[in-house]
Structure 1
Amino acid sequence: MFDTSFTWNDFLYLLDGAWVTLQLTFWAILLGSFAGLLFGLLRALLPRATLPLAWVLDVFRSVPLLIQFVLFNSFKSIVGIDINAFAVGCIVLGIYAAAYFTEIVRSGVLSVPFTLRRASRSLGLSYVQDLRYIVLPMATRVAFPGWLNLVLSVMKDTALVMWIGIVELLRASQTIVTRIQEPLLVLCIAGLIYYVMSLVVAQLGARLEKRWQEND
């Protein structure tokens, strides 16, 4: 007969950790999307002038995220910046997401045929109108799948914030494992919660993408 020390309160504790994971993902993606959109447009429209920006973003894409968490957390302590660990997690994840989303936006903008843009200008649209009504709608559809994959990736990467003291889903599961010594069961439940959260995000994204196609 299957016997376990895992209780309903343990499950609720995992759900509390999952809620922290979702909050981290939301704020990181919000910050990363706004910054990435701005940086991506600049990189696509002013490639030479924004080379220094590209080099900086390359650093954030290349350095492992765990190292970024540790360095930023140590830096804010040395400088004396009074922000909590949750804010540090959101900022680091947000910058990390922005570094990737910049390239997603840039590739989306550059995918719009130059002949189409020239045709829109010949019809009397201004440069700003061309960006608003022609470039951005088409680039959004190209960039959306990449953005959705980025959301799912950031959701999994939130597990690394445990190293700066945040109790998210993985940290919560490790706490329970330490107490009841049933790692297989606890990690399977935590993995299932991750799967459900990712599935919901993916399904919402697929539904939105399908609605776009139906409106064509």
Structure 2
Amino acid sequence: MQEPVSFFTGFNPNDLWFLGEAALKTLWISILSITIGSVMGCVFGWVLHESKSVAGIILAPILDVFRSVPLLIQLVLFYNFAPMVGLDLNPFLSGVVILTFYTASLVTNVARGGIESVETSMRRASRSLGLTYWQDLFHVVLPIGGRTVFPAWIGVVLGVMKDSALVSVLGYVELLKASQILITRTQEPLLILSIAGAFYFALSYPISLYASKFEKRWAK
């Protein structure tokens, strides 16, 4: 007589490896989204600071949509409507697109705040010394303004990394989705969520630590 096969099994080392791979996927989607989104946000912040014309009028409401609408709704809507316009994107690419624009919408205000934190008199002085507009922007505004808003940008980075867990609703097996899969199989939510939380901490804490050291070094 065959022994009955039990669906529920205990947590084993292979499950830990599975969570580790999912953590790397979380890190990968976060790096892509934060890097591209930060660059876009800096450009958008500069546009909003310098332009009061149609570019600024059109761009600001679009960014407000990404800041105001819950990220979960953005992910679901984009993933379901993209095929209607001919975009055949998998969950990973859909997540990258939305997280990138979400990051850009947050970094835009950070970047604009950094530009506006540099006093006008200082910028006029740099121009009077013969610096061009772009030299003033990269050699005066960027070092001073960047130092001012660096902590705020780190906050955005850590926030987006945690928000990347919402991509799990699209079927992308990142850390949260992997945890849900294992909880369903093992029925050990406390253990698995504790391990997942430890992975999130392992991803986030080095960023906070390095940012703190970099900020102190920058302030010297």
Query: Which is worse superposed, 103-112 or 130-139?
Result: 130-139
AA aligned to 1:97 is: T
Query: Which is worse superposed, 45-54 or 197-206?
Result: 45-54
Give 1:67 shift.
Answer: 0.5
Please provide the CA RMSD for this pair: 1.3
Query: Which is worse superposed, 7-16 or 72-81?
Result: 72-81
AA aligned to 1:11 is: L
Give 1:80 shift.
Answer: 2.5
Counterpart for residue 141 of structure 2: 135
Counterpart for residue 91 of structure 1: 97
AA aligned to 1:181 is: Q
The 3-state SS of whatever aligns with 1:124 is coil
In the alignment, which of 145, 162, 169 is matched to residue 163 of structure 1?
Answer: 169
AA aligned to 1:115 is: S
In the alignment, which of 11, 17, 20 is matched to residue 12 of structure 1?
Answer: 17
Point out 4+ residue stretches in structure 1 off by more than 6 angstroms.
none
Matches within 5 A, 1:22-171: 22-49=27-54, 50-171=56-177
TM-score (norm 2): 0.92
AA aligned to 2:26 is: T
Structure index of larger Rg: 2
How many residues are aligned here?
211
Q: C-alpha offsets along residues 75-109 of structure 1, whole Å, 9 cap, x if unaligned? A: 11222212221111011000000000000000010
Q: C-alpha offsets along residues 123-169 of structure 1, whole Å, 9 cap, x if unaligned? A: 22222221121111111111211111111001100110011110000
**Cα 1:14–1:179 shift into 2, 3 Å:** same
Counterpart for residue 4 of structure 2: none
Q: C-alpha offsets along residues 185-210 of structure 1, whole Å, 9 cap, x if unaligned? A: 11111111111211011112112212
Give 1:48 shift.
Answer: 4.3
Which runs of 5 or more residues in structure 1 are unaligned? none
Counterpart for residue 175 of structure 1: 181
TM-score (norm 1): 0.94
Which runs of 5 or more residues in structure 2 are unaligned? 1-8
8 Å CA contact 2:83, 2:89 repeated in 1:
no
Query: Identity of aligned pairs, percent?
Result: 47
* 1: CA distance, partners of 2:57 / 2:142: 22
